[in-house]
Amino acid sequence: MTLSRRALFATAAGSAALPGFLSTARADGRKPVLRAAHVTDVHITKDRDAPKGVAAMFAHMFGQKDWRPDVVLNTGDSVMAVDGKTTGARAAEQIALWKEAVKACPVPIRACLGNHDVWNGEEPTDAVPAEKKGFALMTGVLGMPAPYYSFDQGGWHVVALNSMCNWPKYASLSPEHFDWLRDDLAGTKLPTVVLSHVPILSVTSQTYGDSCRKQNDNLVPGVWHHADCWAISEVFRKNPHVKLCLSGHMHTCDRVEYRGVWYVCGGAASGAWWNGSEYGFPPCYGRIDLFADGTFSYDFVDYGWTARKWQGKELKV
């Protein structure tokens, strides 16, 4: 696998390329203290050959000779959707698919919640009881100790935020969650990765097709980008050990550097919800090497899944 820009398959008119290799590492040949795969927006469902797609992703991820992750960082929307009017029975079906799929992953998966991971409590069953409404259902399924939490591994600190904490409104932190983040970061000096489902900072929210254009203005929907991005960035500024933020939600890829922190939106393992590329971005995952001095590398990986059809939008020129 090279570190150059890699071509994407294109099943519609034209072609595209994933963003290139991102590295803050200052010397070649160093051994990382931690290797991580970044997956997001898996959206597993019995339809659209999604289980085969997830199997292909893990086979690619763990089939490489020169790179193998120690942990998988999952930034949400693991199942197709348990929100809205999804019944307990339908939720149980998706959960069973997820549990079967991750048997192919031999390392821990550490997750945060996505907007489609919050169950609204429709028609509970014995397997999915009413007390699992809200964050409880998928927090348990994903093995999360709480809806937001942190942990240390390999000399790095990892913070998993809950972009959904004000549900049904989302994409900002509650006062309690914000205080927790501030206190958590103040309690460590380890280089830090922050996980959120909704991007804290991203250009994807302004370039998701032409959806934001309102005549001569560009208006970003409040659920596409953390509304409290500036306040969060102020906390990061006072904690310079924060190096990297990972997110998903937008199903497209970008990387943004602001005040010394890199923000990477990791596209989607499902691409366009298992219907091909989303705005030219195919199903993909991220390959991360983390070094002891707080530097890192990130590579977007097109794992070669060819969906039944292309779904998404592009400008016809």
pLDDT number for residue 22: 83
pLDDT number for residue 27: 59
| Range picked from 8-12, 38-42, 208-212 for highest mean pLDDT | 38-42
- Which 8-state DSSP code applies to residue 256? E
Strands 213-214 and 217-218: antiparallel
- Does the bond joining 32 to the residue before it have cis omega, within 30 degrees of 0? no
pLDDT number for residue 3: 25
Q: How far apart are CA 239 and CA 60, in angstroms?
A: 36
Q: How many contiguous H segments (helices) and E segments (strands) does the chain have?
A: 5, 14
At 232, the pLDDT band (50, 70, 90 cuts) reads very high
For residue 302 the two structure tokens come to 């097109």
Top-confidence residue, 217 or 71: 71
Q: Please check the confidence at residue 29 and state whether its pLDDT lies above 60.
A: yes
Answer for the pair 205, 249: CB distance below 8 angstroms, yes or no: no
Q: How far apart are CA 291 and CA 288, in angstroms?
A: 10
CATH architecture of the domain with residue range 22-302: 4-Layer Sandwich (3.60)
At 317, the pLDDT band (50, 70, 90 cuts) reads low
Q: How far apart are CA 101 and CA 131, in angstroms?
A: 26
pLDDT number for residue 1: 26
User: For the residues 157-181, what does the mean pLDDT come to?
Assistant: 98
Amino acid at 232: I
Pick the closest to residue 110 from 66, 154, 80 (CA basis). Answer: 154
pLDDT number for residue 280: 86
Q: How far apart are CA 85 and CA 87, in angstroms?
A: 6
User: For the residues 278-286, what does the mean pLDDT come to?
Assistant: 92
Query: Rounded mean pLDDT of the chain?
Result: 90
pLDDT number for residue 41: 98
Top-confidence residue, 312 or 139: 139
| Range picked from 6-15, 28-37, 223-232, 303-312 for highest mean pLDDT | 223-232
At 210, the pLDDT band (50, 70, 90 cuts) reads confident
pLDDT number for residue 310: 64
At 208, the pLDDT band (50, 70, 90 cuts) reads confident
- DSSP, collapsed to helix, strand or coil, labels residue 234 as helix
The tens digit of pLDDT for each residue in 64-122 reads: 999 999 999 999 999 999 999 999 999 999 999 999 999 999 999 999 999 999 999 99
Radius of gyration of the chain measured on its C-alpha atoms: 19
For the beta carbon of residue 47, count every other beta carbon within 10 angstroms: 11
The tens digit of pLDDT for each residue in 290-316 reads: 999 999 999 999 999 987 666 666 766
